[in-house]
Amino acid sequence: MTSKETLHQFIDEIEDENLLRGYLGMIKELNQQQTGKLFNSLTVKEQQELIFSYEESFNPGNLISNQEVKNKYSKTNSLDKKRQLKFHSCNKLY
């Protein structure tokens, strides 16, 4: 039995009209939240950029490996960059 069929059967077994209204309200609210509440809060330009980024994510050439991202943003790498900046700024003084 599919989820839809199970839900229909469950609803058919409920006799309390108020309970059914409550479930209907929850389902509508959940469905509305899932179908674009956040997306609709974006500006048209932001929506277009999001769609463009999503479409580009299907091109393997645009993807970065998880390890590359970890390396780029690791604490050790960040500390090394700070040390390098400090070293370079000290050398500029001389």
Range of the domain at 86: 65-94
SS3 of 33, please?
A: helix
pLDDT, tens digit (0-9, with 9 covering 90-100), for 51-76? 999 899 888 888 888 899 888 888 76
- Tell me how far apart the alpha carbons of residues 37 and 58 are, in angstroms, rounded to a whole number: 24
What pTM, to 2 d.p., does this model score? Answer: 0.39
Helices (H), ranges, the chain = 3-13, 17-34, 37-40, 44-56, 66-73, 75-93
Q: Report residues of the chain scoring pLDDT below 70.
A: 34-35, 76-94
> How many residues make up the chain in this entry?
94
Whether 54 and 72 share a structural domain: no
Mean pLDDT, rounded, of the chain? 81
- Tell me how far apart the alpha carbons of residues 65 and 82 are, in angstroms, rounded to a whole number: 24
Whether 58 and 84 share a structural domain: no
Whether 76 and 39 share a structural domain: no
